[in-house]
Structure 1
Amino acid sequence: MGVKRGRSERTTLVDVASRAGVSAITVSRVLREPEKVSSSLRQRILELIDDMGYVPDQAARALASRHNSTFGVLVPSLTNRAFISFMQGIEERVRDTHFRIQYANTHNSRDEEQRQVKLLMSQNTAGIILAGLEGVEAVNELVRRASCPVVQVVDVGLQTPGVGIAVDHSDAAAAAVRHMIACGYKRIGLVGGSLDERGRRRTDGYSRSMVQAGLYDPNLIHHENATPTTQMGCRLLRRLMRICPDVDAVFCENDDLALGVLFECQRLDKKVPDEFGICGYNDLDFASVTEPPLTTVRIPLFEMGFRAADALVRGVDGRPSEPNTINLGYELIERRTLRRPIGQQ
């Protein structure tokens, strides 16, 4: 059984090494580069660390290193479910390393984003993942001066310093709306929230496809500048139908909004997809189990997080980075909230 020590008797790395009969370097390697230690020795040392109550002194480690072993991750909203999958990807890549993750919420604020970037840079942070208001020149100037690797989660149309993990949000939205038009819908509305760069580009894609089809009407576009929620989807559909009662489909810039639209259609007894079509965006985990299952645009959120974290790990280790911008693409997932395209019915 381990013995608890007082503050003045804090267990040290040397104590663990002595009990294990190995060098302090070996114990350090177990914590920092576990893959370089045999599994049997690694397990024995980890058990001793747990039994003896050893906690690494991160402040001392930061002083001895060029960084504090922390990856700072800035997201515009910690309540947006799309970012949960993104963060899970980050944590999966970092799990077996010595790095730890520090999240911060920028609340879709440019000033807060800049403040958080400056704060992380002042803390000797090992690397930064920035998934906020992409393309802000003030932030990009900070990134150019950063002494640590920085990865931005961006749109392919934006030029950023450092590595960018990208999706073409405008093209993805345009493809979804073209598909809705091919399914026979004519008065296609748009509902969206969070007027950040991603939202603006999705709106641009929607508008481009509607203009090309001769169907564009600005009265069909409705936003609330807040984090998208199911309740917002309900509200925006009610507003849209008051202004454009002949609307026959909606492209939603987020699956949470699409879920609210679907619920509101059920309350209004509108038959989906025969009377009314719905397309979401992101392909969140609930999209396949709604009734009917939600047609949506799949964005590789988990992979975006994983690749962003991998780029940081590679950058800290001095390994070659990937191309400046990595386009991960998208996929239209056809389920049953839209009719079949004309000619396939």
Structure 2
Amino acid sequence: MKTAKKRLSEKKITLVDVANASGVSAITVSRVINQPEKVSESLRIQVQKAIDSLGYIPNQHASSLASSKSRVIGVAIPSLSNIVFTEVLRGIYEVMGANGYKVLLVDTHYSPLEEEKMIRTLLSQSPEGLIITGGDQTKACQNFLTKARIPIVQIMELLADPIDMNVGFAHGRAGYDVVKHLIGQGYERIGFIGARMDPRVQQRMQGYKLALEQMGKFDKNLIVTTPEPSSIGVGGELFKSLMASTNGVVDAVFCVNDDLALGALFEAQRMNINVPQDLAICGFNDIEAAAYVNPSLTSVSVGRYEMGVKAADMIIRVLNEKPIESRKVDMGYEIKKRVSTSRL
């Protein structure tokens, strides 16, 4: 095995070395690396064999300077640990990878100020496009995004005035429809459990309030929230708080995500509350566990993978100067009606 000192002293493999090894010009090697769609399959394989044999790693920074294209797309999401974004990112990565783009991903921690900082970092890398979450950017962030002159897609929610393009769904309308579903199943005293309370969660709560106000059933005492991040444990604690503060008069609970709903369900079972006969529980996001707990959990389902695919495709189409059907796309949602809300 080579010593570290000897390995570091060896000459770095260059584009010219690859050209000599594959019997083509350096320009051809560059084209194979940066514009593979413009060369024949046989030539691409010929050059790739030389690249693999020599262990050549292309200098992407130099390539982007030469072509004025970075082949990088920046993506900003509020949490890398939140399972909700996993499917969105899978859709983005699949489309971008298939089109020869790399994804530069940052975590904004549900903070507009952190998002401003992270998007500045992304823009410093000369991305060809950006996919960002929601519309809660600071004024400074909105300003430099507007001036970036690159395609930008805001995802996860529908915005009245997007910076450029928008792919999402109406959280408020979804919250409204959850209440209508519960009322339709014969439930009357509907509580609300929320955590973190980011703008999308607040929209769901507003939809909940509007539906109940229109029916003369709204009671602010049936709302329990916390600024803490969501978890199953937090859901259980919030459910206990709701039952204690209302003397257990609620007969249904709308939870802003499935983690909270699962916590509420498990706590209800510990309290010997029959779900769904005595209490309905509805979640949001329709994570995999929702369909497999007992009783199965009603939840609002959103095509998160499809949302990621759509956002990425819009970026690619703009970069390729192809038309897009609409700059604002409503992905919709579906209430997956399961046992936890099926009293009737």
The one-letter amino acid paired with 2:205 is T
TM superposition shift of 1:19: 2.8
> Contact between 2:115 and 2:137, CA under 8 Å: does it hold in 1?
no
2:331 corresponds in structure 1 to: 328
> Contact between 2:135 and 2:159, CA under 8 Å: does it hold in 1?
no
Q: Deviations over 1:79-103 (max 9, x none)?
A: 1111111111111111223321121
> Contact between 2:112 and 2:137, CA under 8 Å: does it hold in 1?
no
Within the candidate set 50, 59, 65, 1:63 is matched to: 65
Within the candidate set 189, 192, 202, 1:190 is matched to: 192
The one-letter amino acid paired with 1:88 is R
CA distance in 1: counterparts of 2:24 and 2:199, whole angstroms = 53
The one-letter amino acid paired with 1:313 is I
Give the 3 Å change call, closer, same or farther, for CA 247–31 of structure 1 in structure 2.
Answer: farther
Q: What secondary structure does 2:225 align onto? A: strand
1:152 corresponds in structure 2 to: 154
TM superposition shift of 1:135: 5.9
For residues 270-309 of structure 1, the aligned pairs below 5 Å read: 270-309=273-312
1:131 corresponds in structure 2 to: 133
1:99 corresponds in structure 2 to: 101
CA distance in 1: counterparts of 2:326 and 2:137, whole angstroms = 18
Instruction: Please give the TM-score of this superposition, normalised by the length of structure 2.
Output: 0.90
Q: Deviations over 1:251-286 (max 9, x none)?
A: 111111111111112222222111211111111122
The one-letter amino acid paired with 2:63 is R
RMSD: 2.3
> Contact between 2:132 and 2:154, CA under 8 Å: does it hold in 1?
yes
More deviation, 63-72/241-250: 63-72
TM superposition shift of 1:237: 0.6
Give the 3 Å change call, closer, same or farther, for CA 46–337 of structure 1 in structure 2.
Answer: farther
2:3 corresponds in structure 1 to: none
> Contact between 1:199 and 1:253, CA under 8 Å: does it hold in 2?
yes
CA distance in 2: counterparts of 1:6 and 1:251, whole angstroms = 60
Q: What secondary structure does 2:332 align onto? A: coil
1:259 matched to 2:256? The reply is no
CA distance in 1: counterparts of 2:268 and 2:292, whole angstroms = 17
> Contact between 1:108 and 1:132, CA under 8 Å: does it hold in 2?
no
CA distance in 1: counterparts of 2:340 and 2:287, whole angstroms = 15
The one-letter amino acid paired with 2:122 is L
1:166 matched to 2:168? The reply is yes
CA distance in 2: counterparts of 1:274 and 1:37, whole angstroms = 66
> Contact between 2:112 and 2:136, CA under 8 Å: does it hold in 1?
no
TM superposition shift of 1:36: 4.8
1:338 matched to 2:312? The reply is no
CA distance in 2: counterparts of 1:292 and 1:41, whole angstroms = 58
More deviation, 301-310/11-20: 11-20
Give the number of equivalent residue pairs: 338
Q: What secondary structure does 1:165 align onto? A: strand
1:243 corresponds in structure 2 to: 245
List runs of 5+ in structure 2 lacking aligned partners. 1-5
Greater than 6 Å deviation, 4+ residue runs: none
More deviation, 54-63/146-155: 146-155
The one-letter amino acid paired with 2:59 is D
TM superposition shift of 1:301: 0.9
TM superposition shift of 1:113: 1.2
The one-letter amino acid paired with 1:286 is A
Instruction: Please give the TM-score of this superposition, normalised by the length of structure 1.
Output: 0.90
Give the 3 Å change call, closer, same or farther, for CA 140–275 of structure 1 in structure 2.
Answer: same
More deviation, 141-150/175-184: 141-150
Within the candidate set 225, 228, 231, 2:230 is matched to: 228
The one-letter amino acid paired with 1:281 is F
2:320 corresponds in structure 1 to: 317
Q: What secondary structure does 1:72 align onto? A: strand
List runs of 5+ in structure 1 lacking aligned partners. none
More deviation, 285-294/328-337: 285-294
Q: Deviations over 1:58-107 (max 9, x none)?
A: 12122213343222111111111111111111111112233211211111
CA distance in 2: counterparts of 1:39 and 1:336, whole angstroms = 54
Q: Deviations over 1:164-202 (max 9, x none)?
A: 112111111111110011111111111112222211111
> Contact between 1:299 and 1:330, CA under 8 Å: does it hold in 2?
yes
The one-letter amino acid paired with 1:52 is L
